[in-house]
Amino acid sequence: EAQVTQNPRYLITVTGKKLTVTCSQNMNHEYMSWYRQDPGLGLRQIYYSMNVEVTDKGDVPEGYKVSRKEKRNFPLILESPSPNQTSLYFCASSPDRGRDQYFGPGTRLLVL
Amino acid sequence: SQQGEEDPQALSIQEGENATMNCSYKTSINNLQWYRQNSGRGLVHLILIRSNEREKHSGRLRVTLDTSKKSSSLLITASRAADTASYFCATQTSGSRLTFGEGTQLTVNP
d(CA B47, CA A94): 14
pLDDT value of position A41: 84
B100 chain-A contacts, CB cut-off 8 A = 35, 42-45
pLDDT value of position A96: 80
Closest CA to B68 of B99, B95, B28, B20: B28
pLDDT value of position B2: 46
d(CA A4, CA A111): 24
DSSP reduced 3-state for A85: helix
A58 chain-B contacts, CB cut-off 8 A = 97
From first to last of the 110 residues of chain B, give the pLDDT tens digit. 446 678 898 999 999 999 999 999 998 999 999 999 998 788 999 999 999 999 999 999 999 999 999 999 999 999 999 999 999 999 988 766 788 988 999 999 99
Cross-chain Cβ contact A59/B45 below 8 Å: no
Largest CA distance in chain B: 42
In angstroms and rounded to an integer, the radius of gyration of the C-alpha atoms of chain A is: 13
Per-residue model confidence as pLDDT tens digits over A39-96: 888 899 999 999 999 999 999 999 999 999 999 999 999 999 999 999 999 999 998 8
Q: Are A85 and A63 in contact (CB under 8 A)?
A: yes
pLDDT value of position A32: 95
d(CA B8, CA B21): 7
Cross-chain Cβ contact B48/A100 below 8 Å: yes
Per-residue model confidence as pLDDT tens digits over A18-46: 999 999 999 999 999 999 999 888 899 99
Q: Which residues have CB under 8 Å from B36's CB, separation 6+?
A: B43, B44, B46, B85, B86, B87, B88
A102 chain-B contacts, CB cut-off 8 A = 45
